Structure 1
């Protein structure tokens, strides 16, 4: 099984890592969703077939559910010899799910009568080897997003018997994508040529400029076409607060590096590295540092090797840095290690042959043959990480044991925030407390604890925690908590003051902006103008 450290972390992965670390493997909670069957005679709706798996993948990934990605499903189709556009029979679906070693397979269908869309989903329980009762939802086609959310809730209740969030609250918590933008995004996914993909993704972001999934795929498509400037532009549109930001910055780093903008590449890879220490990102930072003439490139490669000593690329890259620094013996040692792992590496063999046994351990760099280019890592694979089992248990803490307290605390804060978003208040509180212990100077853990108190309905404790955060340092998030509490207590003036402070500190804070509008509406009811900041 591939080691966990090769993977870029996204927020849903934090949750899976957390649960494994708590000794609760996701047994019985893995599933694959196959495209829904179109039983409607209405033309032009074939794209909906893939829209349902996409929606379920986004919504059902949770602390205890892993949903296989579309790429994983297509690879499984390929191994089974199933065409990508074929709707498999139940017997074929069973074999597919068995090969993927998932606990459930989701199959479904949809029809449209010109007014209403009706969608049905059914779980194939691989452990019990039976089909569970079907779930059906009906609504206007224009209300597709809410219909999909309702159907996702139906499935979640079957998978997680402990799931208690009311259906209406679950549906209300999901912001549906506008239909025309979603259609273009899905058609872009289904397109074969890069040109078609670009056309559809560009239309999706034109219709909805705040569509991070479409921006990410547009940027990745441009990168695959070696058109790096448009790739950089598209990937830069993914907000840093998005769950997709790590993946976007990974590809942004690659595109900027390929375009020769090494400073931007370094910033992008640093963005990922500070959120989770990964071998690939350390490697790429080392390559960028070497290109920029920095002396610390070897340090990055050494970090990559500590995380994953089995990858020959890291030893090869370290050998080049050592050779350029004049450490001939060290370079030869790393090249031998690289060749042990990949004997067919002709570049490594040629470089090793150029290093004659030294009289001393260090020689002048000028006496060494011109080194080949160091190698970037282009793989982004979060799915393997999500499926890790016992390796996950101690992995995160081992990684952050070598990291600075700020990065370590950030990991637990982000994990706590997503746990809280999924209703796991006790687990979220534990993560925020851990973050506070790791980095006592950070305000984010205390703000997170205040948000836990809000979720529990303990306004007094929430206010105490938010104020404690502000005593450490002002932050927009803490002021948002206080403003929300003030608003719920009908203290409009105080809410306005706190939300204004939040916006002053962080003008782009969406929660602050939304709350400011809510405060303004509340004050308008009382004919009170919103105080100026």
Structure 2
């Protein structure tokens, strides 16, 4: 009770001091809006008509774009694909509604839009339902229908009803380059988004542009494909072809700057990024200006340093681990070892499973004469990935302890920051960290046991910010991530738990998630290790029996 009261008093005392800092971080982001975004998933086709595949994705894409235009920011199709891939969920495969809701909860979405489409002859029926994710409140179903040739009109009506207010000009009311393309061009565009290979995506998107030249969305999608194929000159051509009158012109200029960076045309990239920055500062612009400064052989004397730009990016989005990594990596390159250690520790506070950060941190600690700490960090990197063993061998051969080119660029120009860490956690002083970390860990454990997984994840991440190597916190986080279906992250967290402190519980939990992910050999190894620690462990013996049965 005494610790609890101390934590609450600490919270009250720190809150006032941190409000101004947090408010400033919001003010410098996209309009100071809330950080929750809506998630719209592909609509399911009810029937066997093959057109339902692209129409389901097309309807979702149009609704997501319409809601964003209406002032309700929504994850793009590309961002949605990354979310599903990160959670090891197949994109384009039908998932249960419960699974989709869980995805929305995990990413902190403000709303979730799902639905179905029917196609009878040439008549399209769209049924959409919206869920307020934080409260769990479902809105009444929205149904709109009409000829399939009126796809844009139908989805415009759905958006108006979902938005609950007049959203301003809709797609069908847009003019100039953002006006709706011919339906066959839009079909080709959507097929270009969902095709399996980069080659097929490029063919569909190039066909889109033949039917509707200078279509902004088609050009930006083609930029993605060319960039993935390392064809940066063609990617640059696609980006600069977006008409200046399009509402996507700003993003196109940003992507053109990224292509210029990839082509090592740093002066041009710097000029484009500075121009965008003068119009509206964002974290991504500051970060990528830092990247340019880091890579240029000789920056102009009047320009700022990479660290100055990375610092501004981190100030705008203080939960983004990549910006802190760039600060640490840039400090390492300048051989400012104490700064490198500080910023890299801040990185692993935000993402304890960041292997690159642990590797560079190990190098900085070694160079500072802190060999024991360095050895522990290197040991952790080997647990996380075999890649770092290769890096160690390369370092022995080249004499350079850290590979070049680890800096991390940003492609999300105007994206809102992810939920900021609780301001109390960010502002807590060192002597308060232990009690506050224990407080959040215990709350996370209770939430997990009460089946409140989303709240558990939030509390456990706060605890890890304060104590990034705590074995028990990583154990509970691994369990919560497993329940959320985020198996890769769960495996990393459980490996860190074992690295921090060997335990039967963590070995068994890791074996279970490895088995669930299909790695039976690794699962068996961890079960046997758990039984060496405690031959009487009921959980380990039960999992061993399960492994033997599954082999039969």
Give the TM-score normalised by structure 1: 0.55
2:254–2:413: 8 Å Cα contact kept in structure 1?
no
**Counterpart Cα distance in 1 of 2:364 and 2:95:** 48
* Aligned-residue offset at 1:89: 3.1
For 1:22-101, list aligned pairs within 5 A.
25=34, 30-62=37-69, 64-78=71-85, 82-101=89-108
Mark the CA change 1:143 to 1:333 in structure 2 (over 3 Å): closer, same or farther: same
How does 1:251-400 map onto structure 2 within 5 Å?
251-277=255-281, 278=283, 279-287=286-294, 290-292=296-298, 294-296=300-302, 299-308=305-314, 311-317=324-330, 320=333, 331=336, 334-337=339-342, 340=345, 342-345=357-360, 349=364, 376-381=407-412, 385=416, 388=419
Name the counterpart of 2:536: none
Could you say what secondary structure the match of 1:121 adopts?
strand
Q: Which residue does 1:199 correspond to in 2? A: 203
Judging changes above 3 Å, is the alpha-carbon distance between structure 1 residues 109 and 241 closer, same or farther for their aligned structure 2 residues? same
C-alpha deviation, 1:199, in angstroms: 1.2
1:119 aligns with 2:126: yes
Q: 1:375 to 1:240 in 2, by over 3 A?
A: farther
| Pairwise CA RMSD | 4.0
After superposition, the C-alpha distances for 1:212-239 in whole angstroms (9 at most, x for unaligned) are 1211121122112111211111111123
Asked whether the 8 Å contact 1:316–1:334 carries over to 2, the reply is no
Partners of 1:269 and 1:285 within 8 A in 2: no
Work out whether residues 329 and 360 of structure 2, in 8 Å CA contact, stay in contact via their aligned partners in 1: no
Deviations 1:257-298 (A, max 9, x none): 33233333223322332233333122123135x335533565
2:140 and 2:149 map into 1 onto residues whose CA distance is: 27
Hey, what does 1:436 align to over in structure 2? none
Structure 1 counterpart of 2:375: none
Q: CA deviation at 1:55?
A: 0.6
The structure-2 alpha-carbon separation of the partners of 1:146 and 1:301, relative to structure 1 and needing over 3 Å to count, comes to same
Secondary structure in 1 matching 2:51: coil
Pick aligned residue for 1:149 from 143, 148, 156: 156
Matches within 5 A, 1:381-420: 381=412, 385=416, 388=419
- Say how many residue pairs are matched: 347
* Farther off after superposition, 116-125 or 90-99: 90-99
Paired residue for 1:177, among 165, 177, 181?
A: 181
Aligned residue among 127, 140, 161 for 1:133: 140
Counterparts of 1:92 and 1:387, CA distance in 2: 21
Listed one character per residue, the Cα deviations across residues 88-145 of structure 1 (whole Å, up to 9, x for unaligned) are 3333333333334434322222222223222221223445645433222222222211
Which of 201, 211, 214 does residue 210 from structure 1 map onto? Answer: 214
Structure 2: distance between partners of 1:170 and 1:251 = 25
Distance 1:343 1:58 in 2: 39
1:228-247 correspondence runs (5 A):
228-247=232-251
2:111 equivalent to 1:107: no
- The CA distance in 2 between the partners of 1:307 and 1:45, in whole Å, is 42
SS in 2 for 1:138: strand
Residues 66 and 171 of structure 2 are in contact (CA less than 8 Å); yes or no, is this contact kept in structure 1? no
Q: 8 Å contact 2:216–2:242 — kept in the other structure?
A: yes
Q: 1:71 to 1:249 in 2, by over 3 A?
A: same
Q: Is the 8 A contact 1:26 1:64 kept in 2?
A: no
Specify whether residues 346 and 172 from structure 1 end up closer, same or farther in structure 2 by C-alpha distance, changes over 3 A only: closer
CA distance in 2, matches of 1:150, 1:39: 21
TM-score, normalisation: structure 2: 0.54
Task: Provide the rounded CA distance (Å) in 1 between the counterparts of 2:89 and 2:267.
Answer: 45
Note the C-alpha offset of 1:202. 1.3
Deviations 1:473-499 (A, max 9, x none): xxxxxxxxxxxxxxxxxxxxxxxxxxx
In the alignment, the residues of structure 2 paired with residue 49 and residue 172 of structure 1 have an alpha-carbon distance, to the nearest angstrom, of 19
**Relative to 1, partners in 2 of residues 1:370 and 1:389: Cα closer, same or farther, differing over 3 Å?**
closer
Secondary structure at 2:214 match in 1: coil
> For residue 187 of structure 1, what is the aligned residue in structure 2?
191
Contact 2:45 2:56 in 1 (8 A): yes
Contact 2:290 2:306 in 1 (8 A): yes
The answer to whether the 8 Å contact 2:39/2:75 transfers is yes
Q: Within 1, Cα distance between the matches of 2:77 and 2:274?
A: 28
Considering fraction of residues, name the structure with more helix.
2
**CA-to-aligned-CA distance 1:410-439 (integer Å, 9 cap, x gap):** xxxxxxxxxxxxxxxxxxxxxxxxxxxxxx
Q: Find the residue that maps to 1:199 and give its secondary structure.
A: helix
Gaps of 5+ in 2: 1-21, 316-322, 347-356, 370-399, 424-552
Q: How far apart, CA to CA, are the structure 1 residues paired with 2:235 and 2:291?
A: 18
1:384-421 deviation per Cα after TM superposition (whole angstroms, max 9, x unaligned): 625557999xxxxxxxxxxxxxxxxxxxxxxxxxxxxx
Partners of 1:188 and 1:95 lie apart in 2 by: 28
C-alpha distance in 2, partners of 1:81/1:374?
28
